[in-house]
Structure 1
Amino acid sequence: MMKRMELLKSILLSLLVVLSLLLTWNVWSYQPASEPYDESQTTVENVSIAEERTTADLIQPSRFLVHGEVAVSGTTDENNIATLTSLMQEWNVYNIQQNFSFDEAEFKDIVHGSNRIELMYPADVPFTAYRDIITFENSSLPEDAFDRVVIDLSGQEDAPFTIYFVHYDNRVVYEGRVDATYLENLNNVVVSNAASTFTPYFAHEAGDRIIHLPVERREYIKYLYKMSTIDINLFRRALFQDPDAVTLNQFGAARDQYFDQSSNLMEVDRNHHTLSYVNPSAEMSTVGRSGELFQKSRRFVNEHEGWVDDYHLYELDAMNQQVDYKMHVQGLPVFNDNGAADIYQEWGETRIHQYVRSFLSIQVEFPNEDDTVSLGSGYDAIEAIESIEDYDPEKLQDVTVGYYMTKNSNDNTYTLDPVWYYKYNDSWARVPVIGGGDPVGLE
């Protein structure tokens, strides 16, 4: 009886093994009876307009300051900035933690105190994005953002030095450590010759802010560029699900509208060389993480290789899911009244809601070393700003030199004039001239 039971068990086990093999084969060899998957029905056509960009390409400091024992020196030069950031890319930052133990005076000493390098960013920089620029030992980083990086040079030569990640308006400070082995090279390359190499700066107090500005007048080159325009059909193919089903309405020679059955709309302004794409079906936006917002904004443009010229992250608003990238020339931001120097995005929950950008690209530069502008000092800029009616120093956020881009009337050339700009109550404007007149040079 026992032998018969063992035999039945063996037969049953063998049948189960055979059944298992048959089921596995069916899974492997199964093909659905539906139509083959057509990627073109669910994804936007692969289009290459210009180039892709990395995080390090897009997130750049607008300037950095070297705070010595007495004097402060600074630079906006892109080569000087590249030298410093390339040194930082070799570092390994560890022990990241939030610092809560400071009052207002101590906060300003952390940021603006002596023996420090202060890197200033025009937009909030997420920690998760900065991981692509500098190495962090910590596997998890704060879900937070900063707009300044401060390197403390005041410690002992053989001890790790401190690096601070500061959100200036929110008075939030994180700190980490970097091994002392990198300090000597930093001092030799950047710090030791700062007073003779960089521009002297002074500190101006505006409300609870300290804004550093150049002490002296400076000569800036006035640029003239011939611009080319990107073929609008490339954007039509890149942005619409079915480009062949897009309808075109033309309103004279200057304005075109493209739309499809989903009510997606792309409007082209040929006078100002800008386009605006709106996807009305995008879900309502909610407050999201700044790191996710930056990464999807970068990937979105990378998908159609839509980066032209030199664009840097200039605004990142996680609350409203808005991102703005601005053209830069010689390390300085380019401003244009009609948006021809910006790439702007507004996001829904998972999809782009609005995409507004220039379709210009620099084709030829006409350099003229003799065509320069003597721009007023930081003192001149502050005097002009303070002369504005109803000026409130609490609302002044930043002051910088930028280029004002204007189209010349007779051809497709653009002039870039160096001008003082100020950020006031979250908006950028040209610094006015006392008594009126041309803001260039603040004469």
Structure 2
Amino acid sequence: MMKRMELLKSILLSLLVVLSLLLTWNVWSYQPASNLYDESETTVENVAIAEERTTRDLIQPSRFLVHGEVAVSGTSDENNINTLNSLMQEWNIYNVQQNNSFDEADFQNIVHGPNRIEVLYPAGIPFSAYRDILTFENTNLPEDTFDRLVIDVSGQEDTPFTVYFVHYENRVIYEGRVDSTHLEDLNRVIVSNAPAIYTPLFAYETGDRTIYLPVERREYTKYHYRMTTIDINLFRRALFQNPETVEMNQFGSSRDQYFDQSSNLMEVDRNSNTLSYVNPSAELSTVGRAGDLFQKSRRFVNEHEGWVDTYYLYDLDAMDQEITFRMHEQGLPVFNDNGAAEVYQEWGETRIHQYARSYLSKQFETPVSADAVSIGSGYDAIEAIESIENYNPERLQDVTVGYYMTRDSNGSEYILDPVWYYKYNDSWARVPVIGGGDPVGLE
């Protein structure tokens, strides 16, 4: 009887040990589910199309302005912007908090007053993403976005200076502090010779918005590129759950459709070298955090290493869960009538709903005999914009020089022409020419 009891005890002890080991293994191997997005519904196969990109690679100012005591000058040159970025990356920003004690006059002075460096971004930048670009001492940053950063350089070099994070349209300001040791470099490298180095600007008022534009004409380089196309099968393998079961229909000589049993659809337009993927089962969402939208959109393209050339965040709509990254050339945005210069995503609750992009990549620049184009001044651009029928200045949001990308008549090259663009009612368009004609140069 005693032997039987001892045997039962041994068996029970062994079972408890095994159970303990299983529980320990479950604890160690458990990973909480992320609600950022469902990876099983996006990229399903290890496909390397081009490159991965970091947050720092994808977020870049469109330009910065230096407000002196009287004059304002600015630049969109990529090298100048990178110089400022390098100085800012040395900072440790602390004591970030919202500023609620200002009226409209205070707001205008904070953003456009003298002794300021005004750094403009083309889209709302989430604080959570900007943490990957600059160093913040605060552990909890606002769940908010900003579209310009204003640096107050008026202080003494032994006193911490203020950095303002501004959402211009919403009139929201957060401010932080930076140690005074960095102020000398800012003034020496960026501010002191600004009128001589950067482009002189004038202010154009559009109701509650001030847009700064160049006083004089200037020349921009016109580019000719030989492009290569990315193998469509790489996208088929990356975007469909079971790529081997995907079927294809051809529509004429230039359009193909790929689809599977789940009704996922990828349409390829060979005339424009663009593709559009739609996952109709993704539940559409109208609520989401801007930071989550940026991170999941970046990770989604990273999973198939789908970044080519130079693309920066250009539009972010957290309410409708839409995001656009735009091609840039020498710091200027590139536009194309068929979407061949952008990467667009629309997201559902956890899964991609729509993914539209070019499958082109620059191969090499081709030499041309004349590659400089003279662009009209900001005054010329405003005169042309004001000539538009039913123009309302309060709906004008931005004006900038960008590149208009077209395909040459032989189809072998793509041409990037410098052209004035304006943002009106949340849409970008080429500035028209008074009396019609070619918008290049506003002549």
Per-residue deviation, residues 138-158 of structure 1 (Å, max 9, x unmatched) = 000000000000000111221
> Aligned residue for 2:186?
186
> Aligned residue for 2:30?
none
What is the distance in 2 between the residues matched to 1:25 and 1:318?
45
Per-residue deviation, residues 17-52 of structure 1 (Å, max 9, x unmatched) = 55532533576899xxxxxxxx99996011000001
What is the distance in 2 between the residues matched to 1:259 and 1:112?
52
When residues 237 and 211 of structure 1 are mapped into structure 2, their CA distance, relative to the original with a 3 A threshold, is same
What is the one-letter code of the residue matched to 2:44?
Answer: V
1:411 Cα deviation (Å)?
3.0
Whether the aligned pair in 1 keeps the contact of 2:247 and 2:259 (CA below 8 Å) is yes
1:21 counterpart = 2:17 = yes
Whether the aligned pair in 2 keeps the contact of 1:407 and 1:414 (CA below 8 Å) is yes
Per-residue deviation, residues 371-420 of structure 1 (Å, max 9, x unmatched) = 21110000110111011111001000000000001111213201111000
When residues 207 and 28 of structure 1 are mapped into structure 2, their CA distance, relative to the original with a 3 A threshold, is closer
When residues 265 and 179 of structure 1 are mapped into structure 2, their CA distance, relative to the original with a 3 A threshold, is same
Whether the aligned pair in 1 keeps the contact of 2:43 and 2:300 (CA below 8 Å) is no
What is the distance in 1 between the residues matched to 2:323 and 2:22?
50
What is the distance in 2 between the residues matched to 1:365 and 1:109?
44
Q: What secondary structure does 1:87 align onto? A: helix
1:192 Cα deviation (Å)?
1.2
What is the distance in 1 between the residues matched to 2:43 and 2:167?
38
- Residues 370-379 or 298-307, more deviating: 370-379
Q: What secondary structure does 1:305 align onto? A: coil
Whether the aligned pair in 1 keeps the contact of 2:308 and 2:361 (CA below 8 Å) is yes
What is the distance in 1 between the residues matched to 2:81 and 2:398?
19
When residues 121 and 262 of structure 1 are mapped into structure 2, their CA distance, relative to the original with a 3 A threshold, is same
What is the one-letter code of the residue matched to 1:281?
Answer: S
What is the distance in 2 between the residues matched to 1:380 and 1:41?
50
1:57 Cα deviation (Å)?
0.8
> Aligned residue for 1:434?
434
> Aligned residue for 1:112?
112
> Aligned residue for 2:256?
256
> Aligned residue for 1:219?
219
> Aligned residue for 2:100?
100
Structure-to-structure mapping, 1:19-98, within 5 angstroms: 20-24=16-20, 44-98=44-98
1:206 Cα deviation (Å)?
0.7
When residues 369 and 111 of structure 1 are mapped into structure 2, their CA distance, relative to the original with a 3 A threshold, is farther
What is the distance in 1 between the residues matched to 2:25 and 2:210?
69
What is the distance in 2 between the residues matched to 1:14 and 1:42?
50
Q: What secondary structure does 1:236 align onto? A: helix
1:318 counterpart = 2:314 = no
Q: What secondary structure does 2:258 align onto? A: strand
TM-score (normalizing by structure 2): 0.93
What is the distance in 1 between the residues matched to 2:413 and 2:52?
26
Q: What secondary structure does 1:266 align onto? A: strand
Q: What secondary structure does 1:438 align onto? A: coil
Structure-to-structure mapping, 1:103-252, within 5 angstroms: 103-252=103-252
What is the distance in 1 between the residues matched to 2:330 and 2:40?
41
Q: Where does structure 1 lack aligned partners over 5 or more consecutive residues?
A: 1-9, 31-38
> Aligned residue for 2:414?
414
What is the distance in 1 between the residues matched to 2:416 and 2:189?
32
What is the one-letter code of the residue matched to 2:186?
Answer: L
Runs of 4+ in 1 over 4 A off after TM superposition: 10-19, 25-30, 39-43
Whether the aligned pair in 1 keeps the contact of 2:249 and 2:258 (CA below 8 Å) is yes
When residues 267 and 19 of structure 1 are mapped into structure 2, their CA distance, relative to the original with a 3 A threshold, is closer
Whether the aligned pair in 1 keeps the contact of 2:42 and 2:352 (CA below 8 Å) is no
1:368 Cα deviation (Å)?
3.9
Whether the aligned pair in 1 keeps the contact of 2:387 and 2:434 (CA below 8 Å) is yes
Structure-to-structure mapping, 1:348-359, within 5 angstroms: 348-359=348-359
When residues 331 and 367 of structure 1 are mapped into structure 2, their CA distance, relative to the original with a 3 A threshold, is farther
Q: What secondary structure does 2:83 align onto? A: helix
1:284 Cα deviation (Å)?
2.0
Whether the aligned pair in 1 keeps the contact of 2:224 and 2:415 (CA below 8 Å) is yes
Per-residue deviation, residues 45-104 of structure 1 (Å, max 9, x unmatched) = 110000011111111000000111111110000010001011111100000000011111
What is the distance in 2 between the residues matched to 1:55 and 1:418?
27
How many residue pairs are counted as aligned between the two chains?
Answer: 426
1:434 Cα deviation (Å)?
1.0
Per-residue deviation, residues 110-136 of structure 1 (Å, max 9, x unmatched) = 001100000000001000000000001
When residues 20 and 356 of structure 1 are mapped into structure 2, their CA distance, relative to the original with a 3 A threshold, is same
> Aligned residue for 1:34?
none
1:287 Cα deviation (Å)?
1.1
Per-residue deviation, residues 411-439 of structure 1 (Å, max 9, x unmatched) = 32011110000000100000011111111
When residues 276 and 157 of structure 1 are mapped into structure 2, their CA distance, relative to the original with a 3 A threshold, is same
What is the distance in 2 between the residues matched to 1:171 and 1:126?
16
Structure-to-structure mapping, 1:379-390, within 5 angstroms: 379-390=379-390
RMSD of the alignment, in Å?
2.1
What is the distance in 2 between the residues matched to 1:60 and 1:297?
16
What is the one-letter code of the residue matched to 1:225?
Answer: Y
What is the one-letter code of the residue matched to 2:156?
Answer: Q
What is the one-letter code of the residue matched to 1:70?
Answer: V
Structure-to-structure mapping, 1:272-421, within 5 angstroms: 272-368=272-368, 370-421=370-421
When residues 12 and 209 of structure 1 are mapped into structure 2, their CA distance, relative to the original with a 3 A threshold, is same
Q: What secondary structure does 1:94 align onto? A: strand
Whether the aligned pair in 2 keeps the contact of 1:220 and 1:373 (CA below 8 Å) is yes
What is the distance in 1 between the residues matched to 2:69 and 2:148?
20
Whether the aligned pair in 2 keeps the contact of 1:221 and 1:369 (CA below 8 Å) is no
Whether the aligned pair in 1 keeps the contact of 2:43 and 2:239 (CA below 8 Å) is no
Whether the aligned pair in 2 keeps the contact of 1:145 and 1:290 (CA below 8 Å) is yes
Q: Where does structure 2 lack aligned partners over 5 or more consecutive residues?
A: 1-5, 27-38
What is the distance in 2 between the residues matched to 1:42 and 1:374?
45
When residues 26 and 376 of structure 1 are mapped into structure 2, their CA distance, relative to the original with a 3 A threshold, is closer
